[in-house]
Amino acid sequence: MKMVSLIILLFLHPVHVSLTGIEYDSTNRVYSVSVRVYSDDLGADMNLGLSTGVSIQGDADQRYFQYLSDRIMIIENGRALEMKLLHSESDGLEHRFKLEAYGGKRVSEVRVVNRIMTRLYDDQANMLLFSFGKTEEGYRFTVADTIREYIVR
C-alpha cells in the first residue's frame, strides 16, 4: 500500500529537472556541452520565448539553439562565449543536445548560467556536471540560484 501511495504521489507531483554537462578540453580550448530535458517541459518553456520577451522563431534546430543560448551561458574571464549546436535528438520523452564553445588561451574564471525552465516551475532543479582540468563538481541550480562561478587555473 505504501508503494502504491508513493507511485501516485510521483505522478501527481512531476519532477522538474534538467541535466547539463560541461567539459573543457584545454588542448583544443573547447567546451563540450550536453543538455538533457524532458520534452513536454522544453516545449512549454520555449513557448514563453526568450528572456527578452522575443518569441523563438525558425526551424526546429534554430529554435532549440535560440532557447539554449538564452538559458545556458558560459562566461570566461568576463566574456560570454558563443555556442554552436552540434546535435539534437528526441525519443519523445526527453530531448538531448550537444553544443560546443571555444574558449580563450588563459582562463582564470568560468561562470556558468543555467536558467532552463526557471520561469516555468518554482521547484525547477538544473543539475550541472562541470569539468575543467582538475576542477570537477556537481552543482544544483534553482530558480533563485542560476549562476555558479569557478576559479580555474
pLDDT for 124 equals: 94
Closest by CA to 103, choosing from 130, 63, 132, 65, is: 132
pLDDT at res. 92 = 85
Domain locations in the chain as residue ranges? 15-151
Q: What's the pLDDT score for residue 22?
A: 97
**Measured between alpha carbons, how far is 143 from 6 in angstroms, rounded to an integer?**
26
What pLDDT score was predicted for residue 16?
Answer: 86
pLDDT at 21: 96
Which ranges of the chain have pLDDT less than 70?
1-14
Residue 22 neighbours by CB under 8 Å, 6+ apart: 31, 32, 33, 74, 112, 128, 129, 130, 131, 132
The predicted pLDDT at position 12 comes to 44
60-88 pLDDT, tens digit each = 999 999 999 999 999 999 999 999 999 99
Q: What local confidence, expressed as pLDDT, does residue 6 receive?
A: 42
pLDDT at 37: 94
Residue located via cell numbers 552540434: 86
Note whether 119 and 48 are within 8 A (CB): yes
